[in-house]
A and B are shown apart, each in its own frame.
Chain A
Amino acid sequence: MIDCPHCGAANREGSKFCGDCGQPLGVAGELACPMCDTPNRPGSTVCTECGARLAPVSVPLTEESPEPLEVGEEGLSLESAGDEETAAEPSEPSEVEQPPDIPEPLPGEPMPPWVKKLEGISPEELPAEEGEEASLAPGELPDWLEVPPEFEGMFTEAAPTAEEEIQRGEIPSWLEVLRPTEEGVGEPAEPGGPVETTGLLKGIKGALAVEPILAIPRRAGPVSPFLPSETAIERAGLFETILREPVRPNAEIARPRGRGMLLASTIRWIIYLIVAMAVAVPMLLGSNWTAGYLRASPPTVAFYDTIENLAPESVVLISHDYNPGVAAEMAPQVEVVLDHLMERQARLINVSLTPEGPRLSQRILDRVAEAHGYVLGEDYVNLGYVVGVEAGPRSVVEGFVSGGGTDFAEGIEDIALIVEFAGAPTYLRLWLEQVQGPYQVPMVAGVSATADPFARPYYRNLARSQLLGMMTGLVGAAEYERHSGYPGVALASMDSQSVVHVSVVLLVLIGNVAYFSGRSKRG
């Protein structure tokens, strides 16, 4: 199992790319460090070069201490393991200390004496340091921070001013703890080297010798007086003004304020007004001007003909699959088709795949049934909502033996026609797939205008008859009304619909004109 270095997912041996994140797994299992690109051993969790984590949080960090100092001719190379910044989470404590980076001297330069001195230090001494680090009690200072004996007095002198009760000369308890231990645990071996004689490090062995070049600061040479240039003064003034400005919130994502917003708002409301007027005015005027130009389209005519050719007393299964949202355009369709069906004396079984369907259809059914003298239970039934949308049509068909449709139909073969009113393509598809396809029952559909593109392929299927006829939206209902001679709501709404359509076309054109004129003005 190879762990992906980027996401930590387990991958089969021999995979070159991670199955979960697609990143390369590295040549022959080698892991490339994301920070410094050095190849690492497979399975390592920390980069040996820069110390970045090579695997996410979940993969436990293998306890690898950084490799000891390698001293070579080119200088030191030091690894700092457990770099805090590169780890993604702060909760994981750093397990290894961070020795400071020591810059490499330029090749060719003679090795500085302090480097030469360090050559002498063998790697075994370092773990001892680490050991000492680990075993320090809280409050205890490490070796190099210890107060040399001559300064101890200074501290004890300062103490009485803070705490009066301590006797002069007595070292307070908290200071006692700071006393260097003579019988300490893990005391390091005495480092070699001369004893320091001056300064803070007095009395300590093994300290770095003072290099005259470093210890004696160079005296600064004479400096020309600094005269800021014109631009510099200007910029400084600008900087000051910026600093003085009050804090403003972050720049937002494209939120035009003020004029831009108002303009967009106004345009929007004008458009709304246009649409509202386009619908309301023709309706209020009761105009019926466009009806003369309405011609029934072939799919609607086919729908009409299918029903017209039904034998009297045929059993028709009607499915009302729409919700109140599209009921406005479906209701006229349902009404005119029901009118036609009842005129043909068909016996109707009504079902619905939507919860609101039965309720919506019941109103229309009641109204039309009364007009034609149909009796509920004898001439038509409303089986209501079929639970389980996906398996709905199938269960309707299978449930014929049980359920209220026994008077009408024993099985699917008794159904002469399925009339489907689909508010959304899903329902149409379900009926086609589950009932029309397997049982080859003749089927016609009335669909909402937005579902039309989806339904059309089924109507236009020339090889196999799927939909014998199709009615689209309010316009389809109007066409049907005109063709069958039952004028109704749909026909009366045609004027409104026409005006709205024309308005939208004009809006599209105006929109383009506005866009291009705006562009030419700006551009």
Chain B
Amino acid sequence: METIASILGNLGIGGPHALMFALLLPFFPLLLILNRMVRERGSPPLRPIPGYDALDEYVGQATESGRSLHISMGTGGVGTGETAESLAGVYVLERIAAQAAASGLKPIVTMSDPSLLPVAQDVLRNAYAVQGYQEEYDPTCVRFISSDKVAYSAGVTDILDHSDVAANIMVGSFGDEFLLMSEVGARRELGQVGGATSPQILPFVYASVDHSLIGEEIFAAGAYLLKKTSHIASLATQDWLRTAIIVAIVIGILLRSLA
């Protein structure tokens, strides 16, 4: 460890940064190799995540009953510390948008950070364009409610109460306001799928939502829903590195206890 640190120090990278660099570096070659492997051998078996299965089912039910669907992409935005979670919400939206464009379902997409607004509109528009229904795309399906999280949850509550929605999908970065929205959904007996990474609200997600996506399960959206090779490969990469970290932790514990 010290040698790596000194090498990096010579390159001009400071102490704690060296450790970060050492953690970051394996990602690139691993992703490259695993991407090629997935391309050639197909996807490795993925354990079933009930949240994603439920998602498809709710979309189907909503379509059949002629009602709409509410999707919240979280209260984070892109370009912030919550970019990855917000992007997870975008991938979920991409999947639902594809089904919506094909079946005439009109989703209501809400977000609290304005930087997600053009992203969501773009995703929806492209979904309609792929199917050839450009003229059916309605930009007011995507609604920016408010930057303030509490106001956002109030707006979502209104949508859940008064627009005829059949299901409520909330995947992304959330704060305490998650419970405000999910409880209203539960009260209206909507089908709900909720996913968040913040430990602060995971208990809320678990308790108030029928199908929850805990922590990094939301990052698997691209792999499970869209089946993109690059996402499956990155899931595999994360698994490898996680195993490496676990091994390192165990070794560290042993060394500490024995010393």
Question: A–B direct touch, CB within 8 Å, in complex?
Answer: yes
Residues of chain A touching chain B, judged by Cβ–Cβ distance below 8 Å, are 11-12, 14-24, 56-58, 88-89, 91, 250-256, 264, 268, 323-326, 389-390, 424-426, 429-430, 437-438, 450-451, 453-454
| Given A21-B228, A22-B227, A58-B130; A450-B200 close (CB under 8 Å) | yes
Q: Is the CB of A22 within 8 A of B232?
A: yes
| Cβ–Cβ < 8 Å partners of A426 in chain B | 81-82
| Cβ–Cβ < 8 Å partners of B62 in chain A | 253
| Cβ–Cβ < 8 Å partners of B166 in chain A | 252-253
Instruction: Give complex CA distance A251, B166 in Å.
Output: 12
Q: What are 6 A-B pairs with beta-carbon distances under 8 A?
A: A16-B39, A16-B42, A22-B229, A91-B132, A424-B175, A425-B200
Q: Is the CB of B132 within 8 A of A454?
A: no
Instruction: Give complex CA distance A89, B132 in Å.
Output: 7
Q: Is the CB of A15 within 8 A of B40?
A: yes
Instruction: Give complex CA distance A453, B204 in Å.
Output: 14
Q: Is the CB of A256 within 8 A of B200?
A: no
Query: Shortest distance in angstroms between A10's beta carbon and chain B's nearest beta carbon?
Result: 13
| Cβ–Cβ < 8 Å partners of A16 in chain B | 39-42
B174-201 interface with A by 8 A CB criterion: 175-177, 187, 189-191, 198-201
Q: Is the CB of A389 within 8 A of B42?
A: no
B243-259 interface with A by 8 A CB criterion: none
Q: Is the CB of A454 within 8 A of B199?
A: yes
Instruction: Give complex CA distance A58, B167 in Å.
Output: 32
Query: Shortest distance in angstroms between B24's beta carbon and chain A's nearest beta carbon?
Result: 15
Q: Is the CB of A17 within 8 A of B38?
A: yes
B226 is an interface residue with CB less than 8 A from chain A: yes
| Given A253-B166, A268-B187; A56-B41 close (CB under 8 Å) | no
Query: Shortest distance in angstroms between A326's beta carbon and chain B's nearest beta carbon?
Result: 8
Counting chain B residues whose Cβ lies within 8 A of the other chain, the interface size class is 35 or more
Chain A: CB-nearest residue to B40 = A16
| Cβ–Cβ < 8 Å partners of B157 in chain A | none
B191-217 interface with A by 8 A CB criterion: 191, 198-201
Query: Shortest distance in angstroms between A316's beta carbon and chain B's nearest beta carbon?
Result: 25
Instruction: Give complex CA distance A213, B244 in Å.
Output: 81
Instruction: Give complex CA distance A11, B36 in Å.
Output: 12
Interface contacts beyond A12-B39, A17-B39, A21-B227: sample of 16 additional A-B pairs, CB < 8 Å, sorted by A: A11-B39, A16-B39, A19-B39, A21-B226, A24-B42, A57-B131, A89-B131, A250-B66, A323-B150, A325-B150, A325-B177, A389-B80, A390-B80, A425-B198, A430-B81, A437-B16
B230 is an interface residue with CB less than 8 A from chain A: yes
Instruction: Give complex CA distance A88, B132 in Å.
Output: 9
Q: Is the CB of A250 within 8 A of B189?
A: no
| Cβ–Cβ < 8 Å partners of B39 in chain A | 11-12, 15-17, 19
B132 CB contact (under 8 Å) in A12, A57, A324, A429? A57
| Cβ–Cβ < 8 Å partners of B189 in chain A | 253-256
Instruction: Give complex CA distance A4, B189 in Å.
Output: 41
B2 is an interface residue with CB less than 8 A from chain A: no
Chain B: CB-nearest residue to A56 = B130
Chain B: CB-nearest residue to A426 = B81
B201 CB contact (under 8 Å) in A88, A256, A389, A450? A450
Instruction: Give complex CA distance A250, B198 in Å.
Output: 38
B65 is an interface residue with CB less than 8 A from chain A: yes
Query: Shortest distance in angstroms between A105's beta carbon and chain B's nearest beta carbon?
Result: 40
Q: Is the CB of A453 within 8 A of B199?
A: yes
Q: Is the CB of B43 within 8 A of A250?
A: no
Sorted from nearest, which 7 A-B pairs have the closest CB atoms?
A22-B227, A89-B132, A19-B229, A450-B200, A57-B132, A15-B39, A453-B199
Query: Shortest distance in angstroms between A451's beta carbon and chain B's nearest beta carbon?
Result: 6
Which of B64, B189, B191, B226 has its CB near the most chain A CB atoms (within 10 A)?
A: B189
| Given A57-B131, A250-B66; A19-B230 close (CB under 8 Å) | yes
Instruction: Give complex CA distance A324, B16 in Å.
Output: 35
| Given A88-B131, A88-B132; A253-B42 close (CB under 8 Å) | no
Chain A: CB-nearest residue to B173 = A426
Q: Is the CB of B131 within 8 A of A450?
A: no
Q: Is the CB of A424 within 8 A of B131?
A: no
Instruction: Give complex CA distance A24, B130 in Å.
Output: 21
Chain B: CB-nearest residue to A90 = B132
B61 is an interface residue with CB less than 8 A from chain A: yes
Query: Shortest distance in angstroms between B98's beta carbon and chain A's nearest beta carbon?
Result: 10
| Cβ–Cβ < 8 Å partners of B40 in chain A | 14-17
Q: Is the CB of B229 within 8 A of A20?
A: yes
